[in-house]
Structure 1
């Protein structure tokens, strides 16, 4: 559905994207991760035709982003992190305006509002809405023309738990229906829960790409965490899994009835990211 071939982007002789080649298949829910300055946002903007690559080719659903922008824009819906809505107009008027640009029927506008639970507030001015409601309007606007690809930039950032859950479920349902979704996020819970495949950018390059479970298996430490009593004091310790020393120690502690608790380390994409880049995503 999306293909980047040997893409470079320079700003004032600084290489921001460095020989990036990437394929995103139809129906994927692709998590695109990277710290600030990694080249992730620049790559997304080149994908949707807002920036021109210095070198390389980008294809979206078989269309060249440079020479067939109108066809590309027909296939893509985009939600940026910062809201860009008409704040003095109502929810419905915002959606109707963009629906008219795409030749979308009123029934489709109403359906999208229902899907994102906006109908009850459709006549409320956008400027009075909370961040969560504005985010739902942005997603609704991006979905009006039934795009084949949706790009979501930090879709649940700063939202209350209920609204975040609503948006996550909506994203999952979109993907089940065959929509290709590209998700950029600093929220490792979102990336882990939603993504069928994850790409991590670092210093302008694609540092790793795979299914989340494969990345965790490759990069995360395999440890067991134990709590045990020693001289009437509680000791907490992490031990490498699968070694003779660990097995002997645990066996001895169990034999002496010293173990208070024991659990396997919970591997996460946050640990993967920290291992690859040397720092936390946030």
Structure 2
């Protein structure tokens, strides 16, 4: 078991940030920790990374107790906090070399994480010169230096532009092929794009823990598409099995289809036949969105 959380509570004075939560994560899973701002996501991650202690309960990472075996936990965990702490006046490779010295890892490992995280073209720059997306890559590279078995990421895509989002999602998915990944977010699209399983927390309490496949709606699907030009809803409703079209803003449309078949290829063909360019094309998990709203709006 990579992560075990048993009856964990955390109190700040009289306020209960976490209230008797329990779950476990198997080796190799990519799990999204989903919840509104202030739900307790960061608090739990700080407990799992030994940054703070729980008020009650037991947590283990890779079999090691987070309070009594802190150094063993730290050897097995790579952590990217919500506010990525970086020395902006240091060069990328200089910063990674500095951290490698702390972890006592070889210089060859530095080059490995640079290549893995796509930092090679930026190594000659100071961190302060990098975009937010590349700064996140530096943070993830730092978390990977000591080759941990578990990667804990707190809001890894907050503030990124659409291109940076895609890059970081791909990076996390690649890392997740041989590591357990536990990432917090309040953005449901992140869970859909990256994760195998979702845990939803609200007001310090676990309100759902499900495999993503179990949340998929078998009766219908929604496709989000952005064209380079406005399209009349009536034309999109002529697509096979289309039952509802919503122009959310600009040239972005949500098309609901009454079928389990993946309809993105039909949308692509529609764009091709009408000389339109597609700027984004994604499926939306209506079941996850509905569940999230139902459980966190009470």
Give TM-score scaled by structure 2 length.
0.76
The count of aligned residue pairs is 242
Distance 1:268 1:163 in 2: 26
2:186 is matched with 186
Distance 1:153 1:191 in 2: 13
* 1:1-282 pair list within 5 angstroms: 1-176=2-177, 178-217=178-217, 263-264=257-258, 267-278=286-297
Asked if 2 retains the 8 angstrom alpha-carbon contact of 1:8 and 1:18, the reply is: yes
Taking a change above 3 Å as real, the CA distance of residues 222 and 278 of structure 1, as seen in their structure-2 partners, is farther
CA deviation profile, 1:239-275 (whole Å, cap 9, x unmatched) = xxxxxxxxxxxxxxxxxxxxxx983396252222112
Asked if 1 retains the 8 angstrom alpha-carbon contact of 2:32 and 2:195, the reply is: yes
CA deviation profile, 1:127-180 (whole Å, cap 9, x unmatched) = 12111111111111111111100011122222233322222112111111x200
Taking a change above 3 Å as real, the CA distance of residues 19 and 80 of structure 1, as seen in their structure-2 partners, is same
* Alignment RMSD: 2.3
Distance 1:210 1:21 in 2: 14
Q: Structure 2: where are the runs of 5+ without partners?
A: 223-232, 235-254, 260-283
Bigger mean CA offset, 203-212 vs 34-43: 34-43
3-state SS of paired residue (1:84):
coil
Distance 1:78 1:272 in 2: 29
Bigger mean CA offset, 150-159 vs 48-57: 150-159
Asked if 2 retains the 8 angstrom alpha-carbon contact of 1:29 and 1:175, the reply is: yes
1:258 is matched with none
Distance 2:140 2:287 in 1: 28
CA deviation profile, 1:8-43 (whole Å, cap 9, x unmatched) = 111112222111111111111010011122122111
Asked if 1 retains the 8 angstrom alpha-carbon contact of 2:34 and 2:187, the reply is: no
Measured after TM superposition, the shift of residue 223 of structure 1 is 9.4
Q: Structure 1: where are the runs of 5+ without partners?
A: 225-233, 236-260
Give TM-score scaled by structure 1 length.
0.80
Larger radius of gyration: 1
Distance 2:95 2:5 in 1: 33
